[in-house]
Amino acid sequence: MKTFTLLSLFAILAPACTVGAPEEGESTQGLTGADSAACNTYNGLQPTKASLAVAMANELQRWEPLVDLVTVYVSGTGDMLQLSAAGIKRCSEVGSSCANTKALLNLQYTDVNQVIDQNLFNATAYRGGLTSGLTRQRDHTNNLKMNNPGAIPAPHKLTKVGGPTNLGIGACGPHWLFKPTNLNGSTYTKPANLANNLYVFSHPFNEFIAFTVTNGNVAVDPIDGDNSTPTTTSGSCPTYELDRVYNPTNTLLSKCCVTVGAKNGALVALPRAAGYLGCKAGAVPTR
């Protein structure tokens, strides 16, 4: 995938891979490498959208955003995207609590900005991007209905078959791979069509989606740590991309970390986003 040089954000994001100068004995093993620093995150909006696409593929086992997502008004916050009644029903049908999907959606709450540097991730920008993205998805789908109905994705089921793994295509990070099948389990003959259900996540302009079809599987590439906890060395103080990590078991809560800006801190619970921890500069680790 083609990448381009950042302007003002590059100086902020580049340390996500170099982490400034951590103290002796500290580690940066929570990171994926230099690839993501070469991609514009737009205040964390783009990689988080890609992570949401992966979470929905994992937990709802489909990409049907116009069915599974809905814009709701939340007092004190405004319009935000949440799982629809159909989406919640789908979670139940496939035996999932959809915890990762819900956590990623709850990153829209402004309270998150109390912990995370808004230059890395801005909840308000994320909220606006998701709600406008659902409108964009609806417009794109309506256009296909009128002009190219053969490109509309057929009902499907997605099953994780790999990832995160480096496909060697120069994307922003490792891909997650999913095998699409028809609802009866038969071969899904047009996997490329599934890209047309990713416009809510800013496809094809989101470098972190990097949708590709390989051996009949479809793949997208969110940052490390949004859909599973990165592997770290025991006793180290890692740096996590966008200064956050998805850790629903809270095994990392209150442990030391180093922010992307090379400041020592500790992992604290992100407000409202259950399962997420943020690296808060200056917080004192107790574990």
Mapping DSSP onto H, E and C, the string for 2-62 reads: CCCCCCCCHHHHCHHHHCCCCCCCCCCCCCCCCHHHHCCCCCCHHHHHHHHHHHHHHHCCC
User: Which residues are within 8 A (CB) of 223 and not within 5 positions of it... i.e. 6 or more apart?
Assistant: 32, 36, 47, 50, 51, 172, 173, 208, 241, 242
Collect all residues with Cβ–Cβ distance below 8 Å to 284 and sequence separation of at least 6: 266
Instruction: Compute the average pLDDT of residues 165-192.
Output: 91
Which carries the bigger pLDDT value, residue 199 or residue 18? 199
SS3 184: coil
Percent pLDDT > 90 in the chain is 74
Closest CA relative to residue 69, chosen from 44, 41, 46, 49:
49
Task: Answer with the residue of higher pLDDT: 124 or 29.
Answer: 124
Residue bearing the bigger pLDDT, 285 or 37: 285
Query: What confidence category does residue 233 fall into, taking pLDDT thresholds of 50, 70 and 90?
Result: low
pLDDT of residue 231: 67
Cβ-in-10-Å burial (0-12, 13-18, 19+) of 235 comes to: exposed
- In angstroms, what is the C-alpha Rg of the chain? 18
CA distance 206 to 229: 23
Least confident of 4-8, 226-230, 237-241: 4-8
Task: Count Cβ neighbours within 10 Å for each residue of 63-81 and write b for 16 or more, e otherwise.
Answer: bbbbebbbeeeeeebeebb
- What's the pLDDT score for residue 5? 29
Lowest average pLDDT, out of 21-25, 55-59, 145-149, 182-186, goes to 21-25
Residue 203 sits at the vertex; the CA angle it makes with 35 and 5, to the nearest 5 degrees, is 35
- Highest averaged pLDDT of the listed ranges 36-40, 112-116, 232-236: 112-116
Q: Quick one: pLDDT band at residue 26, thresholds 50, 70, 90?
A: very low
Judged against a pLDDT cut of 50, whether residue 86 lies above it is answered with yes
* Domain range list for the chain: 14-34+229-281, 45-220
pLDDT bracket for residue 77 (50, 70, 90): confident
pLDDT at position 21 is 29
Per-residue CA distances from 52 to 17, 23, 204 (Å): 22, 33, 15
Strands (E), the chain: 69-74, 78-83, 157-165, 175-181, 212-214, 217-220, 244-246, 256-258, 264-269, 276-281
200 has pLDDT over 50: yes
The predicted pLDDT at position 247 comes to 95
Length of the chain: 287
pLDDT at residue 31 tops 60: no
When the pLDDT of each residue in the chain is averaged and rounded to a whole number, the result is 86
What's the mean pLDDT in 19-32?
A: 32
Got the DSSP string for 234-254? Answer: TT-----GGGEEE-TT-TTTT
Contacts of 74 (CB under 8 A, 6+ apart): 80
- The mean per-residue pLDDT over the stretch 162-168 comes to 85
pLDDT band at 37 (very low <50, low <70, confident <90, very high): low
pLDDT digits (tens, 9 = 90+) for 98-144: 999 999 999 999 999 999 999 999 999 999 999 999 999 999 999 99
> Quick one: tokens of 126?
């994320």
Does residue 152 carry a pLDDT above 50? yes
The backbone torsions φ and ψ at residue 120, rounded to the nearest 5 degrees and listed phi first, read -90, -45
Mean pLDDT, range 148-169, rounded to an integer? 93
* Dist CA 130 CA 79 (whole Å): 10
* Contact partners, residue 205, CB within 8 Å, separation at least 6: none
pLDDT of residue 179: 98
